[in-house]
Amino acid sequence: MSHPATTTSSTTPTRTAASPAVLVDGLVKRYDEVEAVRGIDFEVASGEIFGFLGPNGAGKSTTINMLCTLVRPSGGSARVADHDVVTERDDVRRNIGLVFQDSTLDGYLSAEQNLRLHAELYGVPRELVRERMRQVTEMVGLWERRDSLVNTFSGGMKRRLEIARGLLHSPRVLFLDEPTVGLDPQTRSSIWRYIRELKAREDITIFLTTHYMDEAEYCERIAIMDQGRIIVLDTPEALKEKVGKDRVQIQTDDDQAAIAALRERFAIEATVAEGVVTFGVPSGEQFVPRLFDEWDPGHPPIRSVSVARPSLDDVFMSYTGTTIRDAEATSTDRMRNVARIMGR
Amino acid sequence: MATEIARVRVPARSARGELRAVKVVWKREMIRFSRDRLRILTSLMQPFLFLFVLGTGLSRLASAGTHGVNLRTFVYPGVLCMAVMFTAMFSAASLVWDREFGFLREMMVAPVRRSSLVLGKCLGGATVAAFQGVIVLCLAGLVGVPYAPGLILEVLGLSLLLAFAITAFGVMVAARITQMQSFMALMQMAIMPMYFLSGALFPVSGLPQWLEILNRIDPLTYAVDPMRRVVFSHLNISAAARHALDPGVTWWSWHVPGLVEAGVVSLLGLVMLTVAIVEFGRAE
């Protein structure tokens, strides 16, 4: 799988003069005593595919909701498509497309009726509606199914239809909040194909959130978010380079003893992540034979070893000290708090 | 794939755009109602039971007091109101479903005023409910009410008004109540007493004082009374029967004209619509 070029390359020559599609400055959102977003700053260039990565409850959806004018920020400012999200709400809304985590289609209407309703709400000129509808539904392979009731669609088809609907009014920025969550791998990859095609065909900026590490790699730049803050922001390649090490995970009967042995014999600081002893070394394949050669019979026996190239998981781990899955487990309480307050 | 992209420019907010939004929200109600044939059929059930089972059964008891008028004919305007009311209530309830199934969000993020969305919803509910009134109107012949064009038009107008007010009431409640069970319970709790107190099933003169006071406070009284007047004005019955069965609502012995009654319903409907718009405008 080839990754998109970084933003500094010349793949987007016409956009050098364009102002940023999204400009965020010190954005904060508080729900009573819980601070869901704690002051974030970033910029998304026009035409970029920008990803927000982080565990559930990190504040990704709250941020996206603020950028979409659905939630009022408690502090800071944000501009989307050159308009302020608080003072120019309607201008922002006209220029963005939205695909939420949960379906917002009317299941009792046909696909075409859903799209036409959207076109009317957004004031799409009548003479353009049919042509534009055909383009967006053909892109997601649903043109032939336009007369079917949405309730007869599978989860993947519904998500595709929502992407098509989000594009119907030619937004400058398309927001996708967890666009592939709950979909099977095949549908996930086809959704990513549409997103890349889209970027090639239309003059559009794509802003998405995900908690799948592998998907974040499709983005041109990624912001890693944890506990309401942006921890790091860069291209996937640069992020992985910074980590630089392969990840080795070993399974033993006594993790603490194994960690102590690693420190003593190899001067390696290991931690327990996802229930196994985890550490980073510059060259994993060469380290494993050495590990077994020098592993004392007195140390707890090693049951299994795995070596992995640096991934965004490691990036996340190197910045937060925990894997994204563990972070999700610990952030569940925080999320419950937010959910409790928001669900009034 | 070098296809020419139809680039859409979304126009700035305009009165025309808002009108399109009102219209499309209204149209959605129409599409959904026409798809839901079962609902059309089941909503006829209740009026049918009231008219032909309760009406026929009780008429044996009541014949002495109705001056020769069939009890079914007497309760007919009340049953008409009931059919309209319940349909309007279900229309408003669909807003709670819309929230549950996420569709409300699609409307809330659109670059249109919340007032356009609420207005479209209320007009849609009113149209659907008035249509229900027309269906009940088809039964008129079976209870001795003539199919006069004037009657049909007036009933249609009053049904629209009543349905609009009830939908506005429901939408106002739905802005706050997000759970279907709570919404239905609350609506039943509000609608049933209103219906029973309104005089839909009894004449409003010569009541015990406590009931008379409650009846005059009940907003629904001012929808049922003109409906009865309209129906009775097309009946060929004795003056005594008319006096007993269609006495009309009085305020301290002042006979309230039908137009004033319709005005009361419109005013209440508009107030509730305004509250609903404010409530939805506030929701994030």
The domain boundary, picked from A235, A254, A269, lies at A235
Nearest neighbour of A120 by CB, restricted to B24, B102, B103: B24
**Which chain A residue's Cα is nearest to B21?**
A121
Please tell me the distance from the alpha carbon of residue A133 to that of residue A193, in angstroms, as a whole number.
19
Determine contact, residues B274/B95, Cβ cutoff 8 Å: no
On chain A, the residues whose CB falls within 8 A of the CB of B111 are 90-91, 93-94, 121-123
Same domain, A211 and A86: yes
Give the pLDDT score at A332: 57
Could you tell me if B103 lies within 8 Å of chain A, comparing CB atoms? yes
Q: Which amino acid is at B71?
A: L
Same domain, A134 and A85: yes
Q: Which of residues 233-292 of A touch B (CB under 8 A)?
A: none
Q: Which amino acid is at B251?
A: W
Determine contact, residues B162/B81, Cβ cutoff 8 Å: yes
For residue A104, being part of any structural domain is answered with yes
Could you tell me if B61 lies within 8 Å of chain A, comparing CB atoms? no
- pLDDT at A333 exceeding the cut of 60: no
Contact A124 B101 (CB under 8 A): no
Give the pLDDT score at A15: 41
The domain boundary, picked from A235, A253, A275, lies at A235
For residue A320, being part of any structural domain is answered with no
Split at pLDDT 50, 70, 90, the class of B5 is low
Mean local confidence (pLDDT), B99-118: 89
How much is the mean pLDDT over chain A?
83
What pTM, to 2 d.p., does this model score? 0.79
Q: What would the DSSP string read from start to end of A284-298? A: HHHHHHHHHHH--TT
- pLDDT at A2 exceeding the cut of 60: no
Main-chain dihedrals φ then ψ at residue A26, nearest 5 degrees: 60, 35
CATH number for the domain harbouring residue A301:
3.30.70
Nearest chain A CA: its distance from B15 CA (Å): 11
Whole-number Cα distances in Å, A129 to A24, A118, A119, A120, B152: 33, 10, 7, 9, 39
Return the DSSP state at A145.
G
Nearest neighbour of B10 by CB, restricted to A100, A109, A124: A124
Q: Which of residues 4-33 of B touch A (CB under 8 A)?
A: 5-14, 17, 20-21, 23-24, 27-28, 31-32
Domain of residue A266: give its range: 245-309
Give the Cβ contact number of residue A336 at 10 Å. Answer: 11
Give the tokens for residue A322.
Answer: 């925990």
Q: What would the DSSP string read from start to end of A214-261? A: HHHTTSSEEEEEETTEEEEEE-HHHHHHHH--EEEEEEES-HHHHHHH
Split at pLDDT 50, 70, 90, the class of A273 is confident
Indicate the number of domains in chain A. 2
For residue A269, being part of any structural domain is answered with yes
On chain A, the residues whose CB falls within 8 A of the CB of B23 are 120
Give the tokens for residue B127.
Answer: 């149209």
For residue A58, being part of any structural domain is answered with yes
Mean local confidence (pLDDT), B75-92: 88
Same domain, A188 and A289: no
Contact A121 B21 (CB under 8 A): yes
Same domain, A192 and A292: no
Give the pLDDT score at A3: 46
Same domain, A74 and A139: yes
Same domain, A91 and A222: yes
- pLDDT at B86 exceeding the cut of 70: yes
For residue A301, being part of any structural domain is answered with yes
Q: Which of A72, A121, A174 is best to mutate for the B interface (most B CBs within 10 A)? A: A121
Same domain, A67 and A166: yes
Same domain, A42 and A134: yes
**Which chain A residue's Cα is nearest to B177?**
A344
Contact A169 B10 (CB under 8 A): yes
Q: Which amino acid is at B154?
A: E
Least confident among A168-177, A261-270, B15-24 = A261-270
Same domain, A183 and A152: yes
Give the tokens for residue A55.
Answer: 């565990």
Same domain, A186 and A278: no
For residue A21, being part of any structural domain is answered with yes
- Return the number of CB contacts < 8 Å for A and B: 102
On chain B, the residues whose CB falls within 8 A of the CB of A120 are 20-21, 23-24
Most confident of A80-89, A191-200, A238-247, B227-236: A80-89
Residue B141, CA atoms < 13 Å, CB-side half-sphere:
4
Mean local confidence (pLDDT), A312-339: 67
Give the pLDDT score at B254: 83
For residue A63, being part of any structural domain is answered with yes
- pLDDT at A6 exceeding the cut of 50: no
Give the tokens for residue A242.
Answer: 């910074």
The strand pairing partners of A34, in sequence order, are: A31
Q: Which of residues 79-98 of B touch A (CB under 8 A)?
A: 98
What would the pLDDT profile of A80-97 be if each residue is shown by its tens digit? 999 999 999 889 999 999
Same domain, A45 and A20: yes
Q: Identify which of A235, A191, A180, A213 has the alpha carbon closest to the alpha carbon of residue A4.
A: A235
Could you tell me if B109 lies within 8 Å of chain A, comparing CB atoms? yes
Give the Cβ contact number of residue B188 at 10 Å. Answer: 11
Residue A115, CA atoms < 13 Å, CB-side half-sphere:
31
Contact A104 B102 (CB under 8 A): yes
Mean local confidence (pLDDT), A117-131: 92
Give the pLDDT score at B236: 78
Give the pLDDT score at A122: 92
CATH number for the domain harbouring residue A102:
3.40.50.300
Same domain, A184 and A217: yes
Nearest chain A CA: its distance from B124 CA (Å): 15
Give the pLDDT score at B257: 83
Q: In what order do the strands lie in the sheet with A205-210?
A: A96-99, A173-177, A205-210, A49-53, A221-226, A229-234
For residue A228, being part of any structural domain is answered with yes
How much is the mean pLDDT over chain B?
85
What would the pLDDT profile of B133-175 be if each residue is shown by its tens digit? 888 888 888 888 888 888 888 888 999 999 999 999 999 998 8
